[in-house]
A = this chain, B = another copy of it.
Amino acid sequence: MKSPRNVLFIMCDQLRRDHLGCYGHPYLRTHNIDALAARGLRFDQAYVSSGVCGPSRMSYYTGRTMTSHGANWNRVPLSIGEITLGEYLRRHGRSLALAGKTHMMVDKDGMERLEIADDSAVGLRLSTGSFDELDRYDGHHEPGCESGYPAWLRAQGYNSARPWSDYVISVEDGRGLVQSGWQMRNVRWPSRVAEPHSETAYMTDQAIRYIEAQGDTPWALHLSYVKPHWPYVAPRPYHDMYSLDQCLPPVRRKAELDNAHPVLAAYREHEESVNFSRDEVSDTVRPVYQGLIQQMDDHLGRLWDTLAKLGRWDDTLIVFTADHGDFLGDHWLGEKEMFYDTVQRVPLIVYDPSPAADATRGSVESCFTSCIDVVPTVLDALGLPPYSERVEGQSLLALTRRAAHTANTDNAQKWRDYVVSELDYSFRGARLTLGREPGECRGWMVRDAYYKYVHWQGFGPQLFDLQADPDEFVDLGRDLSHESIRSRMHAQLADWHGSLKQRVTISDANVASRTNTHKNWGVFFGEW
């Protein structure tokens, strides 16, 4: 039986689940992603641990919830005590290459405390989150020397000290004036770089080059696109490939604004929400957002071809996912963070080359999965220890390889029956609006097949009946007839907290071997 030797872990940034053909988009032509779904298993209830890049990614990289890894916002350092997938792989003589974004911030205070020098082997490893950085490119700002992209752009003739600002996210408007794509009004125009010089093209090139260079040596690669995340500038021809009538309309109702939950109301005062709540903004951005996805799909076609040419479909585990969605004006919100499925529920496709997964190819899995499941899936696929004293997710191979795939087998029963996502909005303007201190701004979502319960520090809860109201328009957080549901799900939150890993310094096997052995240690308490 063939088992995976290589790992290709593809992340898209801010990619909505409903913006892929295989997840039901009526117009977007994501043939290559759809083809992956046809060859693998498509997860229909995949959730992130937080609707924010940083904490979501740290969960993808550690296999642990936001509460456990602690990096609860962008640019919050990942504690020196946390172990990432790359470090697990290194323990077993493997490595995890990186092309693209990680949002990893090194714990400088932690290093200083333990007197680990920046330029020591350990210091260098920690600074990369234990990725082998082919090309580290976090996007959304002018890249520095950690990426080869700016120098390469200059070599292509984009003559600027800031080629990303001046070309990649800049456009020429109808009057020939250069405008910044930071201002969403300008994204109707194409990027000033030619398509082969765009971020998506460049990073795909890095990935293809790496995979080709490995030959028959086993490899693992994290290809992490910075698109379709803002700035929403697309290169020609993707900037106007889709017309507005080929876009999904905003999902919002006026009634949502009445008696809205205080945190939600504060978020709707954020600049991105105010703007995206106007049709003009949503109508301008949505076609370009689709174009950026279409572009990514086209480049994934090149990557699939490379895998085919090299025979790598036979021995490569592929995980395709996103760190969260993008409201684009849904629910009168811009950006992400809030606990609607629009943002929390992401695409997830796993291609498992093992013949044991043949029975599930092309099918859809409805068990609840979480971004913390990726690390245990990779460890499992490569036959490495599960590090279960620390890793909180579950291996998805239990689902790709279950012999007869049906939605309600006993296997599915053993899987989790709800997911939790978290938010700490301490860094956001909403904190000031609501007059709260840092660390008093936490929220949790408990989402099962029937209800979504959202618990907020210092405020009442939210509740949505997902059967009656799948688009989450009606907040039942104060509805008297749903008190018992809220109470039950509040308690579920306690149980979830209690299930998180606590004792990370020794293994479960160590505990098992030492259970009730005090007399072996010369300790004889309780004897008469």
Q: Which residues of A contact B (CB under 8 A)?
A: 66-67, 70-73, 76-81, 83, 87, 107, 109-110, 113-116, 120-122, 140-142, 180, 182-185, 230-231, 270-273, 275-276, 278, 280-281, 334-335, 388-389, 424, 426-429, 431-432, 437-439, 442, 444, 455, 457, 487, 490-491, 493-494, 497-506, 508, 511-512, 514-516, 521-528
Query: Which of B109, B457, B522 sits near A498, CB closer than 8 Å?
Result: B457
Which applies to chain A's interface (DSSP): helix, strand, loop or mixed?
A: loop
Across the interface, do B73 and A503 meet the contact criterion of CB distance under 8 Å?
Answer: yes
Whether A505 contacts B426 by the Cβ 8 Å rule is no
In the complex, the answer to whether A429 meets B107 with C-beta atoms within 8 Å is no
Identify 20 residue pairs between A and B in the complex whose beta-carbon atoms are under 8 Å apart, listed by A's number: A76-B503, A78-B505, A79-B81, A87-B113, A114-B114, A141-B523, A183-B524, A270-B526, A273-B526, A389-B439, A424-B503, A426-B511, A426-B515, A429-B516, A432-B515, A491-B491, A493-B494, A493-B497, A493-B498, A494-B497
| Docked-complex contact A335 and B516, CB < 8 angstroms | no
Q: Assess A437 versus B508: contact at CB under 8 Å? Given A275-B528, A521-B141, A526-B275.
A: yes
Closest-by-CB residue of B relative to A503 is: B72
Q: Which residues on B sit within 8 Å (CB–CB) of A273?
A: 526
Chain B hits for A270, CB < 8 A: 526
CB neighbours (8 Å) of A442 from chain B are 498, 502
Between A184, A444, A505, the greatest number of chain B beta carbons within 10 A of the residue's beta carbon is seen for A505
Q: Is the CB of B121 within 8 A of A272?
A: no
| C-alpha gap A231/B524 in the complex (Å) | 9
Given contacts A114-B116, A115-B122, 6 further A-B contacts (CB under 8 A): A67-B502, A73-B511, A116-B116, A273-B526, A438-B512, A487-B487
Q: Is the CB–CB distance between B526 and A276 below 8 Å?
A: yes
Which residues of chain B have C-beta atoms less than 8 A from A457's C-beta? 498-499
A528 engages B185 (CB within 8 Å):
yes
Please give, as numbers and ranges, the residues of chain B lying within 8 Å of A275 by CB-CB distance: 526-528
- Residues of B within 8 Å of A500, CB to CB, are 67
A236 to B432 Cα, complex, angstroms: 66
Alpha-carbon gap, A67 to B115, bound state (A): 27
Contact B505 A70 (CB under 8 A): yes
CB distance from A261 to the nearest CB of B (A): 17
Residues in B whose Cβ lies below 8 Å from that of A278: 528
**Once the chains bind, are B107 and A76 in contact (CB under 8 Å)?**
no
- In the complex, the chain B residue whose C-beta lies closest to that of A271 is B526
From B80, B335, B522, A525 is in contact (CB under 8 Å) with B335
CA distance A503 to B270 in the complex (A): 24
Give the complex CA separation of A50 and B497 in angstroms: 17
Is B526 a contact partner of A272 (Cβ separation < 8 A)? Answer: yes
Q: Which residues of B contact A70 (CB under 8 A)?
A: 502-505
Task: Give the Cβ gap from A144 to chain B, nearest Cβ, in Å.
Answer: 12
Closest 6 CB pairs of A and B: A272-B526, A81-B81, A497-B497, A494-B494, A438-B511, A182-B524
User: Contacts A71-B505, A80-B81, A141-B522; is A527 near B182 (CB within 8 Å)?
Assistant: yes
Q: A78 to chain B: closest CB distance in Å?
A: 7
Give the CA-CA distance A182 to B528 in the complex, in Å.
8
If A70-B502, A72-B502, A503-B73 touch, does A514 touch B80 (CB 8 Å cutoff)? Answer: no
> Which of B334, B494, B512, B515 is close to A428, meaning CB atoms less than 8 Å apart?
B515
Chain B residues near A114 (CB, 8 Å)? 80, 114, 116, 122
A142 to B514, CA, bound (A): 20
B79 engages A504 (CB within 8 Å): yes
Asked if B438 and A515 sit within 8 Å, CB to CB, the answer is yes
Q: Which residues of B contact A429 (CB under 8 A)?
A: 515-516
Q: Smallest distance from the beta carbon of A165 to chain B beta carbons, Å?
A: 9
A87 CB to closest chain B CB (Å) equals 8
Residue of B nearest to A74 (CB): B518
Q: What are the residues of chain B within 8 A of A494 when measuring CB–CB?
A: 455, 490-491, 493-494, 497
Knowing A457-B498, A511-B427, A515-B438, the reply to whether A71 touches B503 (Cβ < 8 A) is yes
Question: Is B81 within 8 A of A110, CB to CB?
Answer: yes
Minimum CB distance partner of A512 in chain B: B438
Whether A502 lies near B66 (C-beta < 8 A) is yes
Residues of B within 8 A of A444 (CB): 498
* A121, B115: Cα distance in complex, Å: 9
- A284 to nearest B CB, angstroms? 9
Q: A80-B81, A141-B521, A490-B494 are in contact. Are A527 and B72 (CB under 8 A)?
A: no
Please tell me if the beta carbons of B515 and A424 are within 8 angstroms of each other in the complex: no
Contacts of A527 in B (CB 8 A): 182-184, 271, 275
